[in-house]
Structure formats: structure tokens, C-alpha cells
Amino acid sequence: MERSAEYFNAAEIFGENVFNDSVMQERLPKKVYQKLKQTLKEGKELDLATADVIAHEMKEWAIEKGATHYAHWFQPMTGVTAEKHDAFITEPMENGRALMSFSGKELIKGEPDASSFPSGGLRATFEARGYTAWDCTSPAFVRQDAAGATLCIPTAFCSYTGETLDQKTPLLRSMEAVSKQALRLIRLFGNTTSKKVTASVGAEQEYFIVDREKYLKRKDLIFTGRTLFGAMPPKGQEMDDHYFGVIRERIAAYMRDVNKELWRLGVSAKTQHNEVAPAQHELAPIYASANIAADHNQLVMETLKKVAGRHGLQCLLHEKPFAGVNGSGKHNNWSITTDDGINLLDPGVTPHENIQFLLILTCMLKAVDIHADLLRESAADVGNDHRLGADEAPPAIISVFLGEQLQDVLMQLIRTGEATHSIKGSLLETGVKTLPDFMKDATDRNRTSPFAFTGNKFEFRMPGSQDSTAQPNIVLNTIAAEAFAEACDFLERAEDFELAVHDLIKKYATDHQRIVFNGNGYSEEWVEEAKRRGLPNINSMVDAIPSLNTEKSIKLFEMFGVFTKAELDSRVEIEYETYAKEINIEAKSMIDIAGKQIIPAVIRYTTMLAASITAVKAACDANVSVQTELLVEVSDLLADTRAAWSKLKEVTKRGSAMQEGRAQAVYYRDEVMAAMEALREPVDKLEMIVDKDMWPMPSYGDLIFEV
């Protein structure tokens, strides 16, 4: 039987659009290839002659894939990627034919005008120059879409004066910091062979899929990515029947295309399933180095959106597109591994004997405890404010889940200074002869913890679904580097290493045990308990932002050359501005939708009711109490709506006239958001009463149950 053209061999297409190591090995002259490898290994700059050869081969390869343009692909602080396309075509030759060229200089350096990207006051608009520089640790790729094919070169983005204007540069700096300090630490335990330690990340991406026709009828989704109005349908997620449910055909066909696109780009999309909320799904790739994982996650988000359009669907990456059901996050799985394959977070079978692991683990407890505010901040974005602490989302309090086995080892350490045994996994008897009994893990999972140790990695569950993974990993890498450095400073000077390391582990475990919490993170009791323990509970982005440039934070980031004070200050500015701007757009969208769509629709409905009362009365003396009651109720709600609408207009106007900065952001959170909620209330009530045919937009039920 002939295989349908629709089926494809995943192994054959995987990475076919990536200028990866094997392509380079095949196409580059041996010497050039070796030079590049050497440069990568030593983290040095590439010389222009070598870059010229690489650029030429890259261009030839890209043209074979149909590429007409190249683009420096970068990640400014807008949360999404940016690119500027240039055609390969250069001056026409004498016979009028175009020459295709791409030089080493064009490969390694670009000069997009930086003045329109957020810089938080780092750069005045007249100093518009910005540079993009090739990050040769992340491979170039060809993206094929409606615009044709484009050779995309992952780049870092900085200002004329060298300050970072992007997410990639600090991420790369933090990776170097954690590598260096982790190496120092394992040297103390006799490791002489590992040369590098890589922070690896696996980012699980959650998203919603809705029908595109319906999406286009929702101005709130179009302008803000979330619904600003909408009453709960009769059914939500209470039956748990969507989670891991059979994937519907339309969605399955979409996922298949997403996977195909991603595989061709070398993104190892691996897991896919339905999530808890109706219309919610998840995609997880196989983990990769933190830098590549961040790039790949951007490609995942782009691809999810792009392919949805082809299927008449719309992908919603917002953290809380629908009130009342779960929001979307991006679980950030993080580990550190040596170049010779040792995962430093692997406890082994008997963790109590693994002193190196216990030191690393307690260093992490210390790091997370001391910098809980920074971790919380790294997950802050405007959309995530609706998620943290609500429904399935982790609470806004940072705590670490260790599980029974490690918790027990830790308690032994704290009590006696020594751990003598580890709880073992036991046999799980299925009770069915034909099913195998199997060894269960020594530790169950805890889905309510924001920062859970899951076997050989930490899973940070706070980050929002539309945010870059760069920020949380910059923080994780740097705080780990600091804790390792401090431990090494002490241990390198110790006379009796064995004794010193035991004391240090006990000290860290004791001093920072308050950050460990294995219970239900969603319970009210935990909020109280966390308060007693003195753990910060930062409920909104606006309150999280100041952690970025505290003295503690500046000292941390400057020490490891990740951010300067000026860069941190600029990021603080950008975040306040972003917050106010996004809420301003939401408020204006509500004003627009309520004013032009909802209020007129409700007036039409009341007119119809009034006409019906008159008509019925004229025809006979029948009972018109229902119409009358409805008319009164709807008219009252309409009056409430109009009053709330006017109030929202007024506060928004005041807010947008304010100077940008913290005070404006606080105003938007406290005044504008409150006015938005006040407008939503009567409107959602009206939606439950007004004739569905007259309601001007699809309902929650239409959107999440009919995809």
C-alpha cells in the first residue's frame, strides 16, 4: 500500500532546516569547522576570515532551502522576538543579474535601529544605535512560511554603549557564572575531568485553542489576549474530563502540523496532551541547554500561533484567557549537568551518602530562600497576576517541595548533623495478575508546589505561559552560582574538608528549612503558616518589580557580571511601563466593547421587551409580568453598566495622563483594575439574561466547548 503523502518520517525531517553541527561538519572546510568548534569551546570571538567562510556556506545552504532573505533574530524586552529581513541580493552585476551575497560581517554583526525597543532610559532616542551579535551557541535555521524562506540567525542585542537590551545576553552570562562556580564546587570533591557545567531547561508550554471565526468576534481577545467580559458557562472544568482526555481530531491534526514544523526546525517537541481546562493543551520538548531552550520556546510559541491560523484556529498564549477556569503556565524544569554527563542534581539511590548532592541541594535551598523575591519577580508579568494564587496555579509564595525521601534526609541532618539512611521506594502491587507490579518512586509528586524537586531537576511552576524562559533561568543560574561560590569560599580554606562540608550542609539545612514545604500549597493554612515563617507573599507584579534593583539584587548580579546596576534600573522602568501600558489597553478595550457593542445590544433587547409589552397589551389583556420584570431588571443593570463605564473612562484618562513609573503602575493596579472589575460585573449578569441571539459576541461556552 502506498503511504499517504500526509504521513512523514519524523527522523528524516528532524532538523532539516537547521544549520546544525552535522551540516557544518559536512559543508565547512575542515580547518574552518575546527576553528569554529574551538571558538565555541573557549567562548571566544570569531575572526572575520573564518566568519566569511561560514557565512558563505550558510548562505549557499539556505538558498538551497529556498531562502531569499536573512534575518538577525533577537529577543528584545518586549517578550517576543524581533527580526529585520535583508535580501541576499546585492548590487546588480554588469549584465543586469543579481548577485547573492552574505558576508562574515553580516553574519556576526547587525545594526538594527534600537530606538523603538524598550530600553528603560538606558539610551536616549538620539543614540539610536543598537547591535545584534551572532550567538554561535544557538544554530541558525531556515524558517519557511508565507513570507517565503528566511535564514534566521540567533543573536544577542545590545546598545551602542554595550548595555544589554535583550534577554539572551544576561542568560548567556548567567550560564557562564553557574558553570564556573559549579566546577569549583565539584573540584573540591575530586572531580578533575569535567570542563563545563551546563544549565539545562525543559519548558512545558500550556496554551488554549479556540475557533478563529469566534475569536475574531471577540475584540477583547484580539486586543488583549484575554476575555474582559464573559459569564461562566453551565459547565466548567469540574468534571476533570478534559485533562488527558482523547485529543479531538481537529486539535490532533493541528498538533501534528505543529510537531512537523518544530521538528524541521530541530525543536524536539515530545509530549502533548489536553490540560485541565476545556480547550487547554500542553506541549513539552525534550530539555536542552538553557539558551537553546529559550530560543526554542520562542519558536514553539511562534509555531503554535502560526499553524493555528492554517487550521482555522487561534492559539491563546495568555496566562488567563478565561476567568473561572485554569490559566496557563510554563513549567520550567531546570538542572545542571557536566560536559561528561553528570547531572549534579541526581541524588542517586542513597542520597544520604551523596555528600556532593547534599551540599548542592542545601545550597539551592539557601539560594531560593534568600532570593525568593527575585524568583517571584522573574515570573511576574501582567497576565500572570491573574494566575498566581488562583485555581491550579501555584500560590505567589515561593517554597520548595523536596518529597518524603529528601525531607527525611534533611531532618536527620538537622537533628543529628548526620544522615544515616534513605527511605526506599517500595513495591507497588497492582493486585491484577496480568499487570506487572512495579517499584514506585520513593517520592510522590506535589502539584501545588511552586518549586518542586522532581527526581533530578527542579520544576519551577510559576512562570507565565507567554513569558520568555530567559528571566527565570537568569535568576536560577545566578543565585545557584552565588550559593556555590559562597560554599567554595568557605570550603577551599577549610583544614578538614570532610568536617567542614558536614558542618556546612547542616548549617544550610538548618538555616533555610523554612523554605521547605511539602504540604498543600493551595490551602489557606499555608498562607498563614508562610506568614509565620516570614516568607514573602508578593501578590502582584507591581509589588514584585522592586526586588530587581534592591541592594541585595544589585550585589548579586554585579558580582557575576550578569547585570549592571544601570541595566537593572532600566529593567525596573520597563516593567512598570509595560504594566501600565497593558492595563491601559485592557481598560480602553473594555470601554470600546461596552460602549459600542454591549450597551447598544442591551438597548435593542429592552426595546424589544417594551414593544412586546405594548403589543401584547394591545392584542389582549394577557399577563405581561415576565416581560415587565425582565425590562426592569435589565434596565437597572444597564444603568449600572453605563455608570461603571463612565467611571472607567474617567480613571483611565487620569492614568494615561500620569508620568510613567511606579506611581502610575500602582494607580493602574488599584484604580483602573478595580474600575474594570466594576464594569464587568453588571455586564456578565446581563449576558445571563439577554437573548443569546442579540448578545454581540460568542460566550465562554461557545469558545471553550465548541472547538
545 DSSP 8-state letter:
G
- Nearest partner of 85 among 103, 68, 105, 63, judged by Cα: 68
Figure out which of the listed residues 225, 266, 285, 450 binds ligand ADP, where binding follows CB under 6 A: 285
Q: Which is nearer to ligand ADP, 287 or 579 (CB)?
A: 287
Which residue from 51, 48, 123 is spatially nearest to 570, judged by alpha carbons?
A: 123
Of 206 and 381, the one with the shorter C-beta distance to ligand ADP is 206
**Does residue 286 bind ligand ADP (CB under 6 A)?**
yes
Residue with smaller CB distance to ligand ADP, 215 or 458: 458
Residue 276 DSSP code? S
Among 191, 356, 456, 628, binds ligand ADP (CB under 6 A): 456
Q: Where are the beta strands (DSSP E) in 309-356?
A: 313-316, 330-338
Binding mask 355-374 for ligand ADP (x = CB under 6 A): --------------------
Q: Contact region for ligand ADP (CB under 6 A) — 245-253, 333-341, 376-384, 524-532?
A: 333-341
Task: Report if residue 395 touches ligand ADP, rule: CB under 6 A.
Answer: no
Which does residue 74 touch among ligand ADP, Mg ion, none (CB within 5 to 8 A, set by kind)?
none
> Whole-number minimum distance, CB 461 to Mg ion, in Å?
8
Number of residues that this document lists for the chain = 707
Cβ-based burial of 21 (10 A; exposed 0-12, middle 13-18, buried ≥19): middle
Angle between helix 290-310 and helix 249-264 axes, rounded to 10 deg = 130
Of the pair 28, 284, the CB lying nearest ligand ADP is at 284
What is the DSSP pairing of strand 313-316 with strand 330-338?
A: unpaired
Q: What is the number of the residue whose Cβ is closest to ligand ADP?
A: 202
Asked if 276 and 243 count as a contact pair (C-beta separation under 8 A), the reply is yes
Measured between alpha carbons, how far is residue 85 from residues 71, 88, 135, 260 in Å? 5, 10, 18, 24
The answer to whether 287 contacts ligand ADP (rule: CB under 6 A) is yes
Tell me the one-letter amino acid at 88.
F
CB nearer to ligand ADP: give 456 or 537: 456
Asked whether position 326 contacts ligand ADP by CB under 6 A, the answer is no
538 Cβ partners below 8 Å, 6+ apart? 373, 376, 377, 396, 544, 547
Q: Least distance to ligand ADP from the beta carbon of 361, Å?
A: 15
CB of 447 to Mg ion, least distance (A): 8
| Interface residue list for Mg ion (CB under 5 A) | 204, 331
Residue 120's nearest CA partner among 530, 496, 519, 569 is: 569
What is the smallest separation between the CB atom of 463 and Mg ion, expressed in angstroms?
Answer: 12
The span from the CA of 608 to the CA of 627, in Å, is 10
| Minimal distance, residue 326 CB to Mg ion, in Å | 13
By beta-carbon proximity to ligand ADP, the closer residue of 201 and 315 is 201
Please name the residues in contact with 576: beta carbons below 8 A apart, sequence gap of 6 or more. Answer: 542, 545, 660, 661, 662, 664, 665
Contact 326, 275 (CB under 8 A): yes
Residue 204 or 377 with smaller CB distance to Mg ion: 204
Based on CB atoms, which residue is closest to Mg ion, 104 or 329?
329
- The CB-of-456 to ligand ADP minimum distance in angstroms stands at 5
Cell of 59: 548562505
Q: At closest approach, how far in Å is the CB of 396 from ligand ADP?
A: 21
Buried b (16+ CB within 10 A) or exposed e, 98-131: eeeebebebbbebebebeebbbbebbeeeebebb
DSSP secondary structure code for residue 314 in this structure = E
Q: Is 289 in the site for ligand ADP (CB under 6 A)?
A: no
Nearer to ligand ADP, 83 or 204 (CB): 204
Tell me the closest approach of the beta carbon of residue 198 to ligand ADP, in angstroms: 10
Q: How far is the CB of 281 from ligand ADP (least distance, A)?
A: 12
Touching ligand ADP, residues 80-119 (CB under 6 A): none
With CB under 5 to 8 Å by kind, the binding choice for 200 among Mg ion, ligand ADP, none is ligand ADP
Nearer to ligand ADP, 394 or 655 (CB): 394
In angstroms, the Cα distances linking 164 to 155, 292, 566, 621 are: 12, 18, 10, 78
CB nearer ligand ADP, residue 447 or residue 531: 447
Min dist CB 390 to Mg ion, Å, is 18
Local structure of residue 591 (DSSP, 8 states)? H
Minimal distance in Å, beta carbon 470 to ligand ADP? Answer: 16
What's the DSSP call for residue 522? T
User: Shortest approach of ligand ADP to residue 204 CB, angstroms?
Assistant: 5
Q: What is the residue whose three cell numbers read 566546577?
A: 183
Give the distance from CA 349 to its chain's centroid: 33
Among positions 20, 343, 564, 584, the unique one binding ligand ADP when judged by CB under 6 A: 343
Q: By the 8 A CB rule, do 181 and 559 touch?
A: no
To ligand ADP, the closest distance from the beta carbon of 275 in angstroms equals: 10
Q: Quick one: how far is CA 99 from the chain centroid?
A: 41
**Segment contacting ligand ADP by CB under 6 A, of 11-19, 55-63, 64-72, 284-292:** 284-292
Site string for ligand ADP, 171-210 (x = CB under 6 A): -----------------------------xxx-x------
- Pick one of 173, 281, 457, 502: the residue that binds ligand ADP (CB under 6 A): 457
User: Using CA atoms, how far apart are residues 281 and 205, in angstroms rounded to an integer?
Assistant: 8
Minimum distance, C-beta of residue 331 to Mg ion, in the bound complex (Å): 5
According to CB under 6 A, which residues from 606 to 645 bind ligand ADP? none
Based on C-alpha coordinates, what's the Rg of the chain? 28
Paired with 93 in beta bridges are none
Q: Does 333 bind ligand ADP (CB under 6 A)?
A: yes
d(CA 489, CA 502): 15
287, interface contact from Mg ion, ligand ADP, none, CB < 5-8 Å by kind: ligand ADP
Which one of residues 82, 284, 363, 396 is an interface residue with ligand ADP (CB under 6 A)?
284
Residue 282's closest CA among 194, 208, 187? 208
- 198 versus 570: smaller Cβ distance to ligand ADP: 198
Taking the complex as a whole, how short is the minimal distance between the CB of residue 276 and Mg ion, in angstroms?
A: 11
- Indicate which single residue of 34, 271, 350, 646 sits in contact with ligand ADP (rule: CB under 6 A): 271
Q: How far is CA 294 from CA 62, 141, 400, in A?
A: 23, 15, 23
Q: Which is nearer to ligand ADP, 201 or 686 (by Cβ)?
A: 201
* Residue with Cβ nearer ligand ADP (262 or 594): 262
CA distances from 27 to 32, 50, 139, 171, 398 (A): 10, 14, 15, 30, 49
Q: Which stretches of the chain bind ligand ADP, using CB under 6 A?
A: 200-202, 204, 271, 284-287, 333-335, 343, 456-457
